[in-house]
Structure formats: structure tokens, C-alpha cells
Amino acid sequence: MTYQSGLFAGKRAIVAGATQGIGATIANHLAALGAGVTALGLGAGDGTLHDAVEVRQADVTSAASLTAALADVGDLDIVFNCAGIIQRGAEHDPEVFARVLEVNLTGTMRVCSATRDRLKARRGCIVNTASMLTFFGGGLVPGYAASKGGVGQLTKSLAIAYAADGIRVNAIAPGWIATPLTRALQEDPARSGPILARTPMARWGTPEDVARAAVFLCTPAAAFITGVILPVDGGYMVS
């Protein structure tokens, strides 16, 4: 842990899409720093969430599901949007394409809208999850790339719209991160090699790399930062 213990003591956080992967790691980091954290997601998760994190079932594609999950949640300080899917190859089917956008983009907007008033009371912050594909396309993943491009523009738009409420809205843009979603790539030297060759830091990122940068956007040190899309990619996008 790279932050002062108790940094978020007395703070309340919601992390959507937090039952596994990057979302779970972010939830764990917030809890370790003293925040009261509720993880929203589908299923029981992958077993990596700390006991201090409360888990609630919620589907970001359903307004009713989110309303039920947040019914007894009062004022909020921090909201993370990490819910997302990718369907490589299949996203050229318009129905699959629409489903990816519904989860990744509309789901992000739905969580932001559902928590806005709660964040306003505490002048809180939102951190969305964009991607390196926010900045360029992906031939196998048109839905994912389109949704993450949309998350980038949504972040900038809500940063403007929510500023009068004292709410900061930023995003992280992970690069090639070692998670279960990228395991097939990691284990295939023919595919992993070109990725690492283009990455100046010459390694796969970790969920912890992403979480530490994401948490920064919620700290007092970032009090004058809003509308930013922060790449966490080892330099991949600038090489």
C-alpha cells in the first residue's frame, strides 16, 4: 500500500463491477485505507474481495436493480464504475454490440445518475473505467472500443455537468493488464510478445498498478482534477 493508513476513514464508497478483477482490487484498496466499501456485481465473485468489503448483487443494465441495491445507502464520497464486458469477435453482431454498449457505457451512466444526489451532499467524486481503446480502435472488439470511447466522452461531459454540485468526474484508462480476461493473451508468446515489445515498461500491468492510480483520483491531492482520462498502460499508447 502506497498511501497513508486511514486516508479514507469515515468515507463511504460504491464500486460497481467489483466482484472480480480490477474492480475487486480497487474495492480492496479503498477498504484497506479505511473506507466503508460496497461492491456491486453479479454472482459471488472470484474470492479475492476482502472481508471488510460488503457485496451486493446489482445489474448495471437495470435501473430497478440499482435502485434496490442502493435503497439504504445514504451520502456517498466515492463511486467507481468498473462493470464491463468484452466479446471478442462476436461484437460484429449488432445484438452483441448493443449488449456491450448497454453494460459498459449505458451502465456507467446509469450508476452516475443513480448516485449523483448522494455524492452532491458530500462533494464526492466519480472514477469511470475507460481503456486504451478509448483512444484507438480494435478490429475484433468494435463494441468494446465504441463503449470505452463513449466512457471517455461521458466522463468529460459529466465533469462539466456535475461540477456545480461539487462532484469531480475522472476516468482511468488501463492498458494491457494481467487479469483473467487477458490470460489467453498472456500465455501465448506469439501474441504477448508484440504487446510487450511495444510497451516501454516491458511488462504486463497488474490490477494493483491500476488501483493505486485510480485511488489517487479520489484523494485530496486530486482536489483540482476533473475531466481527466488517466492512462495506466506502461506507456503503450505513446510508443
pLDDT tens column, 24-54: 999 999 999 999 999 999 987 678 899 999 9
pLDDT in tens, 131-181: 999 999 999 999 999 999 999 999 999 999 999 999 999 999 999 999 988
Q: What residues form DSSP beta bridges with 49?
A: none
What local confidence, expressed as pLDDT, does residue 2 receive? 76
Distance CA 145, CA 229 (A): 15
pLDDT score recorded for residue 146: 98
Q: 48-52, 210-214, 226-230: which has the minimum mean pLDDT?
A: 48-52
Domain boundaries, the chain: 12-232
Residue from 153, 167, 151, 141 nearest 87 by CA: 141
Q: Which three cell numbers stand for residue 96?
A: 452483441
Q: Which residues are catalytic?
A: 144
Q: What is the pLDDT of residue 152?
A: 98
DSSP states along 44-66:
S--S-S-TTSEEEE--TT-HHHH
List all residues 6 or more positions away from 226 whose beta carbon is below 8 Å from its beta carbon. Answer: 159, 163, 168, 169, 170
The total of other beta-carbon atoms located within 10 Å of residue 42's CB is 14
Choose the CATH number for 12-232 among 3.40.640.10, 3.40.50.620, 3.40.50.720, 3.40.190.80. Answer: 3.40.50.720
**Mean residue pLDDT across the chain:** 95
* Alpha-carbon span 56 to 42, nearest angstrom: 8
- The verdict on pTM exceeding 0.75 is yes
Residue with C-alpha cell 480490477? Answer: 22
CA angle (222 as vertex; 121, 16 as ends), nearest 5: 60
d(CA 144, CA 134): 9
